[in-house]
Amino acid sequence: MTQSSENTRKRNERYDKYVKAVTPQSSVWRSLWRAFFVGGLTCILAQGFADLYRWVFPSWTADMVGNLTSVTVISLAILLTGLGIFDKIAKVGGAGSFLPITGFANAMASASMEFKSEGLIFGTSAKMFSVVGPVIVNGVVWSTVAGLIHFVIGFFM
Partner 1 sequence: MKILHRGENCHFVPAFSQEIVRESVRDIPSAGAVLHSGIRRGRQTFIFDDPPKIVGRWTVSGKKEGAGPVGQYIHSVYRDPKMGEKNFEMAEIDMLREAVDGAIKAGGYLPEDIDLFIAGDLLNQITTSSYVARELNIPYMGMYSACSTSSESLATAAFLINAGYIETAACATVSHFATAERQYRFPLEYGCQRPPYSQWTVTGAGCALLSKAGKGPAVTAATLGKVVDYGANDIGNMGAAMAPAAMDTLAAHFFETGTTPADYDLILTGDLGKLGSDILRELMRERGYPLLQNYIDCGTLIYASDQDVYQGGSGCGCSATVLNSFILEKMEAGQYKSVLLAATGALMSPQSCYQGETIPCISHAVVIRAGEA
Per DSSP, the three-state class of 132 is: coil
Angle at Cα 140 formed by Cα 93 and Cα 76, nearest 5°?
Answer: 35
CB of 48 to partner 1, least distance (A): 21
Q: Which amino acid is at 44?
A: I
101-114 vs 86-93: helix crossing angle, rounded to 10: 130
Q: Which amino acid is at 75?
A: S
Upper half-sphere CA count for residue 32 (Cβ side, 13 Å)? 3
DSSP state of 99: S
CB of 26 to partner 1, least distance (A): 5
Angle at Cα 34 formed by Cα 32 and Cα 38, nearest 5°?
Answer: 120
CB of 50 to partner 1, least distance (A): 23
d(CA 115, CA 83): 17
Of residues 61-100, those binding partner 1 (CB under 8 A)? 81-82, 84, 86-87, 89-91, 93-94, 97-98
Is residue 39 close enough to count as binding partner 1 by CB under 8 A?
Answer: no
Candidate residues 2, 3, 5, 24; the one interacting with partner 1 per rule CB under 8 A: 24
d(CA 69, CA 55): 13
Binding pattern to partner 1, positions 112-131, x when CB under 8 A? -xxx-x------------xx
CB of 63 to partner 1, least distance (A): 29
Candidate residues 12, 47, 125, 138; the one interacting with partner 1 per rule CB under 8 A: 12
Interface ranges with partner 1 (CB under 8 A): 7, 11-19, 21-26, 31, 81-82, 84, 86-87, 89-91, 93-94, 97-98, 103, 106-107, 109-111, 113-115, 117, 130-131
